[in-house]
Structure 1
């Protein structure tokens, strides 16, 4: 494949990818209720710097967003996002947090978020180890004549069982810590 043959599709792909990154279309830049958009962005946990994404998208169309109206909306929206219950929910789901909560709301949101996120991460680790052990057991059953390969897979299972034991212990510890601090948000 010569340089011209692959460079045209590459260029088109880059242009499409850059346009896909834009937060707003030209029509949205023209018709947006900036206060409501800021409120929506805040309520979904977008950081205050997210207005720059809208500014960049709209500047491509020669439009300047109303940053003051967006900020006023964001200030209202972020208070609905940065609640202890929402932090607990987002952490329990393994959701991403963009460090967007203002100082006055930060601890109330982050403490249950991180406690639940640690439980989520520990559970993910445990489940990955269980899955790997299951795959190895299946592979052992499929091996017909190679005793050395079978022994190696059994040794790997033993190593993984030790890791699984540690992962299960870590999960119990994280669940207990979370429950001690946030029993009212856990609903055990």
Structure 2
């Protein structure tokens, strides 16, 4: 249960009611709990919606890549809500059950291609504290992506950091989007290592 009471889904605020109705259509009849909590603060809620809508409209990077990176970041931060909804949403964009299960060992898994591994490297590096993203990794990504695509991908991972840490701090847990289906697992985060042109090692699953 969240540490702050959520706003009632039957609120009379016009914009909030509209966004709740839109969310129900998109998320299997559910209003995501982070929306219900954030909506208690109208200014923060509008900012949150703007960020999410902008990211949703950005379309230069394959949705599968962005979702894969978001799930990895969520798993590393341990956000139960994000892992749950991300796994559910990710499978709708082509992420396979094998990929969800192999996220902790993506560097060695045969279920990821070169670009997917590099995208996951970026998610790992951005989720570390301190952030650990090398020039070499960015140059490897540039072989596959334009600068605009790199901006979109990096922004997508950064927004996931916001989601995960907001939810984690306020005790927002799983909403059971993946009930009965395969879901990614939380991962432990080892201390950041220096990257010298090689891929960032995958964290060890608990």
Normalised TM-score (structure 2): 0.28
Q: Of the two structures, which has the highest relative contact order with CA contacts closer than 8 Å and spacing of 6 or more?
A: 2
> Which is higher, the Rg of structure 1 or of structure 2?
1
Normalised TM-score (structure 1): 0.30
